[in-house]
Amino acid sequence: MGYLNFNKNELVNLEYSLSLELLNTNRAGGYTSTTIVGCNTRKYHGWFICPIEEFGGEKHVLLSSLDETVVQHEKAFNLAIHKYPGIYEPRGHKYIVDFEFEPTPSLTYRVGGVILKKELIVVHNEEQILLKYTLLDAHSPTLLRLKPMLAYRSIHTLSKANLYASTQLKFIKHGIASRLYAGYPTLNMQISRNNEFIAVPDWYYNVEYLEEKKRGYEYQEDLFSPGYFEMPIKKGESIIFSASLNEINPLWLNRKFDREMTLRPPKDSFGSCLQNTANQFIMRRKHGVEIVAGYHWYGCRSRDTFISLPGLLWDDPKTYKSVLDCMSATLKNGLFPDIVDAENSLYNSVDTPLWYFWSIQKYESITGETDTIWKSYWKKMKSILEAYRNGSNEGILMHENGLIWAEERGVPKTWMNALVDNVPVTPRYGYTVEVNALWYNAICFALKLAEQYGDKKFVEHWQNIPSLIEDAYMKVFWMPEKNHLADYVGVDGQNQRIRPNEIIATSLPCCPINDEAREDVLKAIEYDLLTPKGIRTLSPKNPAYKGLYEGSVKERDSAFHQGTVWVWLLAHYVEAKFNLHGKSFIPEAKRIMSNFEQDMTAKCICAIPEMYTGDPPHEPCGAISQAWSVAAVLYIAHLIELYEKKSVKKQTVKNSNNRII
């Protein structure tokens, strides 16, 4: 029995099986995702989903599903499952007897005396998926039918039957090539052996996606099938189906599948599962390496990228730098785009450029390569600081006290950026607690580099600012009656709602508050916001607190930062505790990390979601797999490892001294 175990007796129970989703990516923007029984419950689900450069790199669902049918004695058993209004049809899940995720997702079906195994491979760095069907047992001649169901639409929309879809097919070796609409690439569907394709072009109406219905979106779609492949399959024989943007030689499919299988990373422990998922966020494109913020609906977001980098790529500094280089090229007037590659992306996030400094600091701590940092990023870093100091961007300006004031009415400038009816839910206008802590940290780091590499002009211009900030920070943010920091300070004074953002002030390499204040802040967070799954965004004692994340789009956006639990903040809590207590915090850090092990076989397999509900039992919500959530848990693991090594080293030195004595 492997590390990842599933309740095989519950596979036919749709309440169980439809709640478990799988995600496999090709590390280039494409992916396969569905539930473990193959029933799509989201518009973002599908077997072949890829970015299309002609459409700005937006991901599109080409092959929604592949329906399998086993035929014996002229009797057909359809193994697929779709949701239609009021019914599931066909109900192929009732034939499932096993599901495994290691080394690759696989389903085993039993139909009478027939036992058929299906295995999935998403080819890395290529736009191709492979589905392998192996007939493990059969006592009579058996036919296998494979019927592709096509969508050809953006992951954010749904397809409807229309007269514009092209039913024309091109027959290629052991398969067909189809392109439903002009402007799209051709989808080549080929099989590893001879087969017969029976053209039966038809629309399948009102396929339903239940998760979209829950989220308040349109949830019915029409899918087009050009027909089906049919071929005999013998006991012990394997047949491979390939979907690709390129026509391939099907005679090589068996060898390619076997080769790809050897490249699958192990998923035999908590750590290996997390690392496997971390790799799925890395997207290698023609213009550089990016990080996908989350699946399914997020693309590359600057803030998420910088916060995620240390956790995702701690052990891969080469790729870490490639991401930094790619993101550095998007800097404009001291700011980064909120969404990379998006048309008309906004440049208005006040904290994102300061996280850029933090991610470079972490790169230095991992690699020690200060020369590389100086050559690659120094000019960019200087330009950011100057833009903030000079007020080059609307609503962002350094005041005489050294602090950054950020205010642009109607525009949320921090990570708490949810909007309802175009009005910020948490506007946070003025001095914000984490922005000014990050600002202080950025200046201190820049001064260290400037002094090391002899930029005297920069040192002269900036050397007095840190002391200004130190004097102002506690005066502006500290609330003596509450013994912690204000979340932000606006024209009406201190906002006294306890929120998690002050954690960041306690965890940074250069911290604007003393150890006593850091302890008090962490105690306040522990009392009101800390949960087993992360940090709440608002105290349950506050009248505005929302403990659940459900309902319409408006209702969910209203709850986004009003009580939901975020995992990424937990990394900063743990780092702050390590900074204050050293190795004595190792047992508690391990306990915190272990709280996520159960998520390896819940919701999205091997993944950690975007957030959790504020109320116990803290159900997963938002995106099913989020980069900075996975990165946070991996970062905690790296911190534990670092402090364990320090402890061993210290003990070794002590033992050595004892021997000398």
Distance CA 364, CA 333 (A): 25
Return the pLDDT at 650.
60
- Helix runs in 329-455, H state only: 352-367, 370-390, 433-453
602: helix, coil or strand?
coil
Residue 544 CB coordination number (10 Å): 13
Task: Quickly tell me which residue has 């916060």 as its tokens.
Answer: 307
Residue 591, phi then psi, degrees to nearest 5: -65, -40
Residue 56, phi then psi, degrees to nearest 5: 75, 20
Distance CA 200, CA 206 (A): 19
CA 106: distance to chain centroid? 23
Task: Quickly tell me which residue has 């105690």 as its tokens.
Answer: 523
Q: Tell me which residue of 104, 100, 98, 132 sits closest to 25, measured CA to CA.
A: 104
- Residue 452, pLDDT > 60, answer yes
Task: Quickly tell me which residue has 């997207």 as its tokens.
Answer: 283
Give mean pLDDT, residues 185-189: 97
Higher-scoring residue by pLDDT: 285, 381: 381
DSSP 8-state secondary structure symbol assigned to residue 265: P
576: helix, coil or strand?
helix
pLDDT in tens, 54-67: 888 899 999 999 99
Phi-psi region of 38 (alpha: psi -120 to 50; beta: other; left: phi over 0): left
pLDDT in tens, 195-227: 999 999 999 999 999 999 999 999 999 999 999
Distance CA 297, CA 288 (A): 21
Task: Quickly tell me which residue has 């070796």 as its tokens.
Answer: 173
- Residue 102, pLDDT > 60, answer yes
Give mean pLDDT, residues 572-577: 98
- Residue 1, pLDDT > 60, answer no
Distance CA 620, CA 613 (A): 7
- Residue 661, pLDDT > 70, answer no
Contact 303, 338 (CB under 8 A): yes
- Residue 656, pLDDT > 50, answer no
The mean-pLDDT minimum among 166-180, 266-280, 338-352 falls in: 338-352
Give mean pLDDT, residues 153-178: 96
Residue type, position 156, single letter: H
Of the pLDDT bands very low, low, confident and very high (cuts 50, 70, 90), residue 100 is very high
Residue 130 neighbours by CB under 8 Å, 6+ apart? 120, 121, 123, 240, 241, 242, 253, 256, 257, 260
Return the pLDDT at 357.
98
Contact 42, 155 (CB under 8 A): no
Of the pLDDT bands very low, low, confident and very high (cuts 50, 70, 90), residue 652 is low
Return the pLDDT at 2.
78
Distance CA 35, CA 463 (A): 56
Average pLDDT, the chain: 95
Higher-scoring residue by pLDDT: 151, 649: 151
Q: Tell me which residue of 39, 188, 68, 67 sits closest to 135, measured CA to CA.
A: 68
Of the pLDDT bands very low, low, confident and very high (cuts 50, 70, 90), residue 660 is very low
Count of helices and strands (H, E) across the chain: 17, 36
Angle between helices 433-453 and 370-390 (to 10 degrees): 130
- Residue 651, pLDDT > 60, answer no
Distance CA 120, CA 128 (A): 11
Return the pLDDT at 449.
98
DSSP 8-state secondary structure symbol assigned to residue 100: E
Residue 428, phi then psi, degrees to nearest 5: 50, 50
User: Two tokens at 110?
Assistant: 């039993």
Residue type, position 524, single letter: A
pLDDT in tens, 312-356: 999 999 999 999 999 999 999 999 999 997 777 899 999 999 999
Residue 86 CB coordination number (10 Å): 7
CA distance to 96, 318, 389, 401, 511, per residue, from 508 (Å): 50, 24, 21, 21, 6
Residue 386 CB coordination number (10 Å): 14
- Residue 49, pLDDT > 50, answer yes
CA 576: distance to chain centroid? 24
Give mean pLDDT, residues 27-33: 94
Could you tell me the maximum CA-CA distance found in the chain, to the nearest angstrom?
90
Return the pLDDT at 56.
84
Sign for the CA dihedral angle at 430, 436, 439, 444 comes to: positive
CATH of domain 8-262: 2.70.98
- Residue 286, pLDDT > 90, answer no
Burial class (CB in 10 A: 0-12, 13-18, 19+), 177: middle
Sequence ranges of the domains in the chain:
8-262, 547-661
Strands 169-172, 175-178: pairing kind: antiparallel
Of the pLDDT bands very low, low, confident and very high (cuts 50, 70, 90), residue 443 is very high
